Structure 1
Amino acid sequence: MTSLRFIEQLRGLVDGVEVILSDIWGVVHNGLESFPEACEALHTYRQRGGTVILITNAPRPADSVQRQLRKLGVADETYDAIVSSGDLTRNFVAGHPGKKMFWIGPDRDSSIHRGLDAVMAPLEQADYIVCTGLFDDETESAEDYRAMMLQAREHKLPLICANPDIVVERGDRLIYCAGAIAELYRELGGEVVFYGKPHRPIYERAMALAAERRGQPTSLDRVLAIGDSVRTDLTGALGFGIDCLFLTRGIHSEEFEGIDQLDPASVKELFGHPPRALMRELRW
């Protein structure tokens, strides 16, 4: 294993790359503001013939994600399409008509079941749980849900996790996501179905959309993932068989503070299997 150096520009990494699968939160925005240089980098790549599919663990449909991006100043020209874990979760709900759902998540995620005629029920009457996040991610953690998860386990309810992220940036803070509750439930012996990175379905859907845009499938050796999470972005890319550009300014920023180069031992400790390259922030 060799050492890893930081690169400064995306342009030096994309020769022969036809498709970029880019994370959203932590790459093009932090939940409060967009990153203009990152958006410009993806836009420039598209202008040069590349295809950009945004893949996100957001527990909302793609059209809802697009509305948020527009509010944050991310232009539609930055990308070709969006795939969200919310879309995949909605497909699950739509495929189980008549089954009763107990929903864990904030009101802003109600689009996860809107228009699907989902049968909502209290926990003790439900057939399954959909978790899009914490009821109040400003004040709660997964531990606040331990008693609820113990009750769910007693009822043998599968939990459908619409956002496998454990934490995400909101401005300069880290807040807990649905993945934190899902991992607690799994530790307690509950059954969990994850939609989103690092699991294959979201990558398969993204590649299908890329093939539609390009008119033909793209070989995986011509695909590059971009993300800022070891657990979701890097692990998902490696598991799917594609290279990953890892950005260090996101949720792992403290671990990379003051580091200009990683020796082989540090690479193994931080990543296990290393990404193709490191950047602090995405820029062309």
Structure 2
Amino acid sequence: MTAPRPIEHFSDLADRYDVLLCDVWGVIHNGRESFPAACEALARFKAERGPVILISNAPRPASAVRPQLTQLKVPDAAWSEFITSGDATRVLLSERAPGPAWAIGPDRDAPLYEGLDLTFAGPEEARFISCTGPFDDETETPEDYRQAFEQAVKRDLAMICANPDIVVQRGDKLIYCGGALAQLYEQMGGEVLMAGKPHAPLYRLCLGRAGELLGRPVDPARVLCIGDAVATDVLGGNRQGLDVLFVASGIHAGDAIGEAGLDPAAVEALLQEAGAEAAYVTTHLSW
């Protein structure tokens, strides 16, 4: 594997690409505040080069997540389209309607199910599991679900996970996401289905929309994925044959950034451990 090239300014490579597929949480905001320099970089690319598709593992449809961007002061000028894991997951859920589904996740994820004609039940009567994350991601861990998962595995229930992320950064805290529960369920012998990053369905949606915005077929060699999570953003881009810019200041900051700043050797080791490859690495996204 080739070590990623460290860059300070996104403008140094922007003209190599026509389309950006950019992660949201960890790249342009941390759940509490947006990152002005990152938003400016995306806005400049959109104005001068081409479409910016925000690609998120949020387990809700993009229409339900857009207000968060406004609340966090992410400018509309910074993106062309917003597509989520929730958008891709709704296809999997619709194929299993009317269920019933055992829905695991907080009330805020209810928009995922709107208009799908699904019914719901507990693990004793459900025909499959739909997981968006812990019911309370501030206090719960995957282990809180082990006992219930034992029963679900015995019943051979498949789990559809709407958010493949293991953890996400909220302010200065890492919280568990749906992917952490799915990881445990799979380790216990359960079947897990996902449509979000790093899986292909979400990328197909994004590249299809990018082509519509460009008005011509997308050249994969001129698409750049930007993200901070190796297991989802970097591997997702790798599996689709797309270049990746790894943002080291996100969830891997503790491993990738030392007292002297970006540690290229540590980044290379982090990527190699996951069997991942990034063309570039930067501390923070900025023009």
Q: Give the TM-score of the pair, scaled to structure 1.
A: 0.95
1:213 aligns to 2:213 (yes or no): yes
Tell me, in whole angstroms, the C-alpha distance in 2 between the residues paired with 1:132 and 1:264: 30
Tell me, in whole angstroms, the C-alpha distance in 2 between the residues paired with 1:208 and 1:144: 39
1:172 aligns to 2:172 (yes or no): yes
Taking a change above 3 Å as real, the CA distance of residues 216 and 2 of structure 1, as seen in their structure-2 partners, is: closer
1:66 counterpart residue number: 66
Cα shift readout 1:200-242 (whole Å, capped 9, x = no counterpart): 1111110000011111111110000000011001101001000
**Aligned residue identity for 2:265:** L
> Do the aligned residues in 1 keep the contact of 2:2 with 2:277 (CA within 8 Å)?
no
- Tell me the CA shift for residue 2 of structure 1: 5.2
Q: What is the root-mean-square deviation in Å for CA atoms of aligned residues?
A: 1.6
Tell me, in whole angstroms, the C-alpha distance in 2 between the residues paired with 1:223 and 1:191: 32
2:80 counterpart residue number: 80
1:138 counterpart residue number: 138
1:280 aligns to 2:283 (yes or no): yes
1:152 aligns to 2:152 (yes or no): yes
**Aligned residue identity for 1:119:** T
Taking a change above 3 Å as real, the CA distance of residues 123 and 273 of structure 1, as seen in their structure-2 partners, is: closer
**Aligned residue identity for 1:37:** A
1:261 aligns to 2:264 (yes or no): yes
Tell me, in whole angstroms, the C-alpha distance in 2 between the residues paired with 1:132 and 1:165: 10
1:26 counterpart residue number: 26
- Tell me the CA shift for residue 96 of structure 1: 2.5
Q: Which runs of 4+ in 1 moved over 3 A?
A: 1-5, 263-273
- Tell me the CA shift for residue 182 of structure 1: 0.3
- Report the secondary structure of 1:123's partner residue: coil
**Aligned residue identity for 2:92:** F
Taking a change above 3 Å as real, the CA distance of residues 15 and 97 of structure 1, as seen in their structure-2 partners, is: same
Tell me, in whole angstroms, the C-alpha distance in 2 between the residues paired with 1:264 and 1:133: 28
Q: Which runs of 5+ in 1 are unaligned?
A: none
Taking a change above 3 Å as real, the CA distance of residues 129 and 267 of structure 1, as seen in their structure-2 partners, is: closer
Tell me, in whole angstroms, the C-alpha distance in 2 between the residues paired with 1:278 and 1:12: 13
2:128 counterpart residue number: 128
> Do the aligned residues in 1 keep the contact of 2:17 with 2:222 (CA within 8 Å)?
yes
- Tell me the CA shift for residue 257 of structure 1: 2.1
- Report the secondary structure of 2:15's partner residue: coil
